[in-house]
Amino acid sequence: MDLSIVIPLFNEEDSLPELEAWIRRVMEEEGFSYEIIMVDDGSKDGSWRVIEQLAEQNPNLQGIKFQRNYGKSAALNTGFQAARGRVVATMDADLQDSPEELPGLYRMIAEQGYDMVSGWKKKRKDPLFSKNIPSKFYNWTARRMTGIRLHDFNCGLKAYKREVVHSIEVYGEMHRYIPVLAKWAGFHRIGEKTVVHQERKYGTTKFGMERFIRGPLDLMSVIFISRFGKRPMHFFGALGSLIFILGFFAAGYIGINKLYRLHQKLPTVLVTDNPYFFISLTCMIIGTLLFVTGFLAELVSRNAPDRSHYLIEKRTEALGDEGILPGRGTRTGME
């Protein structure tokens, strides 16, 4: 199979028929063998009903429905696990991402040898102050901190080698920084392609003001995880040891200075009356806590349970290796 198209969605029933028809037309014109994987992230509208209808009409489409809303990262991660194509592409379901871009993304992976290609919405059809300016700032910061020269880390249109999506785990809110996760997993050929961005045709955006807080926190998280995720003791242990040593030597100096002044019969004060004593004591306590934190984090990282299990309420049936058959049946439980 040439291409798997993973589409996470939440309350997008109006756009799904048009999106499916658009993708099908492009794939047929290009002669691609393909599958569409629509992951319904706990929609409250009729999105799942529409997906079931589309799966009956298009044998190359399958749907996965979560019991509740887990977030875009969970939807992408589950779609990645189900993908069987040589190249795996992602796009949003709101019709702002054009399926016409998929063949170009595919060829950059299949013919030019990229591990991953990210779209760049050079001319965004979004509000200037609420989306465009914050997006430019976050992308500039991400470029500086990660060394990955992409203009748009969070563009929904991306393409990957199948090996890439099967080698990374996307959880929490890490969908914004999948290029960093891919680089951390050892895939360094990361490219970029300018893509057309269209105005939203149906519904409203699903991302509110909380993204201004989550964005920087996610970036700090992914930087920390990429550098110390498998060896947290190297960070907490080293920092804790340094702070403890500073506090220990400061306390030692205060004690030695007190003994020296007593020996020379010089005026002196109680150690507990010296504010630097409490500062040094605090440093030793903080250093010890950081060291213990690193030790516990090391134990957790070596025994962490799989975070990729999401409660799936329904799933259209997929049979055979050559295509996805119409989804009349459903499955319930942990996938």
Domain boundaries of the chain, sorted by first residue: 3-228+307-334, 232-302
119: left (phi over 0), alpha (psi -120 to 50) or beta: beta
- Residue 189: pLDDT band (50, 70, 90) is very high
Alpha helix positions (H), the chain: 16-30, 47-57, 72-82, 102-110, 133-146, 162-165, 178-184, 211-228, 232-263, 275-302
CB atoms within 10 A of CB 13: 19
- How would you classify the pairing of strands 3-9 and 87-90? parallel
- pTM above threshold 0.75: no
**In this structure, what token pair is assigned to residue 301?**
């990282």
> What digits encode the pLDDT tens for the residues 22-79?
999 999 999 999 999 999 999 999 999 999 999 999 999 999 999 999 989 999 999 9
| Least confident span in 6-10, 42-46, 257-261 | 257-261
pLDDT of 319 strictly over 70: no
Residues 34 and 60 sit within 8 Å (Cβ to Cβ): yes
* HSE-up of residue 108 (Cα within 13 Å, Cβ side): 22
Per residue in 280-305, pLDDT (tens digit) is 999 999 999 999 998 888 888 776 65
- What distance separates the 2 farthest-apart alpha carbons in the chain? 97
Half-sphere exposure of 216 (CA within 13 A, CB side): 5
The CATH T-level fold of domain 3-228+307-334 is: Spore Coat Polysaccharide Biosynthesis Protein SpsA; Chain A (3.90.550)
Percent of the chain with pLDDT over 70: 84
Residue 116 is encoded by which pair of tokens? Answer: 């991953």
Six-digit token string for 165:
């999506």
Asked if 33 and 64 count as a contact pair (C-beta separation under 8 A), the reply is: no
Cα separation of 321 and 312, whole Å?
22
Mind giving me the DSSP string for 225-282? HHHHTT-HHHHHHHHHHHHHHHHHHHHHHHHHHHHHHHHTT-----GGG-HHHHHHHH
